[in-house]
Amino acid sequence: MALCITAPRVVTAGQVIEPGFVLVNDGLVEQVGTGSPPDADVVLPHGILTPGLIDLQLNGAFGVDLVDATPDQWVDVVRQLVRTGCTAFTPTFITAPVDALVAALTRYREVRPRLDALDRAARTLGVHVEGPFLSTKRRGAHREEYLCDPTPERVERLIDAGTGGTLAYVTLAPEREAAPKAITRLREKGVRVSLGHSDATEDVVRAAVDAGASLITHLFNAQRPFSHRDPGVVGAALTDERLTAGLIADLHHTDPTAVKLAFAAAGDRIALVTDSVAAMGMPAGSYVLGGDRLHVEPGGPPLREDGTIGGSALRLDEAVGNAVACGVDLAVAVDAATRVPADALGHTHLGRLTAGAAADLVWLSDDFRTLGTWVAGTLAYTDPDAPPTRRFPR
């Protein structure tokens, strides 16, 4: 079924078309163009039409910590995420004993066919395991007693549990014993590697990239900072063209100046992520991340009892708006939440409005709140308070 949607602004291929339209056919983008066809099926009276947003790091949302989620909770989360403009994501499991991570990967592998069969729901792109191969010096909210080296036996257990695309990528600290061999082995098995929670020097980071690492987990946070004589993880991330760096633009993890700096240095390699926990989409209160209790005050980030930030309550549409408010160009900010994360995981059919791509689209308000979401050309969400359009087929 063909569907033509017009909007005052359409963001595609790193540019903004004003006005523009997207023609969808059989779940795919058929055409993107300038103007407002008079016979359009859907006329968006204001706002921005973008590709579906893609989150590379989501621990939980809507009261659910995904590592322990039941099948019904998984369904609830992927159904609700489209309200935030997120049409695809990598569930994130943080540091735990390897046995627990294997069990969590197995549960996800078993529920994934049910999730894949859903319509009007966000796609899952395989799991991101963040740890347990992290630095004790830069552990952040991760439990120190579970941190360990990526020995061949531990790595193989995660690989075995992550078969069939279950395991998308692993975050590790490249300075840990056996890390170079672990990176090589993970890449051999099709698992991507991200560098994070690390006190590594620039040279160690670049050696890890030579071995196959291709991502950086939450730039600036829980990693060796930049110094003019010791560039560290940050320096390597901002200057090595082989790396895609996740960035939590909630303005708690990163100051606006840090956001501007990251985009100025590596704008086409920055992927906006939420690192959200169960508190996302929920009121202030108490939530769980990896077995630890977090407390969220109104407008503040989730905090452990010791005051350490533990993830965020950020929505990905909000992250785009925050980046723009920091001075990032609109097309670049949208790219950072769509094409860049899709490409980082090899999903080149997602995160773009080009002919042949999946017709995942988001209608954002002028203040970057999701008003409508389509997944594979099917309307998955509309804001009940959104102004009427000419026709909004369901």
**Residues acting as catalytic residues:** 275
Q: Which residues contact 44 (CB under 8 A, 6 or more apart)?
A: 5, 6, 7, 8, 363, 371, 372, 389
- 3-class state of residue 220 by DSSP: coil
Q: Which residues contact 307 (CB under 8 A, 6 or more apart)?
A: none
Asked whether the beta carbons of 140 and 164 are under 8 A apart, the reply is no
Asked whether the beta carbons of 97 and 109 are under 8 A apart, the reply is no
In 126-267, which ranges are continuous DSSP H helix?
152-161, 179-188, 202-211, 232-239, 256-266
Phi (first) and psi of residue 164, to 5 degrees:
65, 30
Asked whether the beta carbons of 293 and 344 are under 8 A apart, the reply is no
Instruction: Tell me the one-letter amino acid at 141.
Output: A
Taking the C-alpha atoms of residue 151 and residue 177, their distance in angstroms, rounded to an integer, is: 8
- Which residues does residue 389 pair with via DSSP β-bridges, in sequence order? none
Residues in the chain: 394
Taking the C-alpha atoms of residue 323 and residue 315, their distance in angstroms, rounded to an integer, is: 12
Neighbours of 36 (CB within 10 A): 15
Taking the C-alpha atoms of residue 263 and residue 328, their distance in angstroms, rounded to an integer, is: 7
